[in-house]
Amino acid sequence: MLRNLKSKFSVLWRPRREKSAVAASARRPAARRSFEPLEPRLVLDAGPFAISEFMAINDSGPSDRDGEFSDWIEIHNSSAVPESIEGWYLTDDADDPDQWRFPNVTIAAGGYQVVFASQRT
């Protein structure tokens, strides 16, 4: 499934335009934050979904349902209607694009869904 995002994550997808972003990382809650630029990519047709935010090296942010601080990805549905992410995939390995398939989850119009990279469903 997903490996820890802190070692591989390098792409922020935005539909139909090139966009760059920065990723904050802090190994300890009291540590000084450092920023690392992400490589911009152009996605020709991502549909209504975009990765709107992510956290790698989650030491103190939101916890998953088991109370663990897993890395997480936030997906935004930019359409005016609810959309299912069933059949979409998430991966951290370009050689394995079908690494983790989303279940039948519907994201509200203009809504967000947080997905934890915890290797659990």
Is it the case that residue 12 has pLDDT exceeding 50?
A: no
Backbone angles phi, psi at 20, to 5 degrees: -115, 165
pLDDT, one tens digit per residue, over 23-74 is: 444 444 555 666 667 666 666 566 788 888 888 888 888 888 888 888 888 9
Annotated domain spans of the chain: 1-121
* Residue 15 pLDDT: 44
And the tokens for 115? 């997905």
Of 46, 25, 29, the C-alpha closest to 37 is 25
* Residue 100 pLDDT: 86
And the tokens for 34? 């450092």
Q: What is the mean pLDDT of the chain?
A: 73
Average pLDDT over residues 15-29: 44
At a CB cut-off of 8 Å and minimum separation 6, what does 111 contact? 76, 77, 82
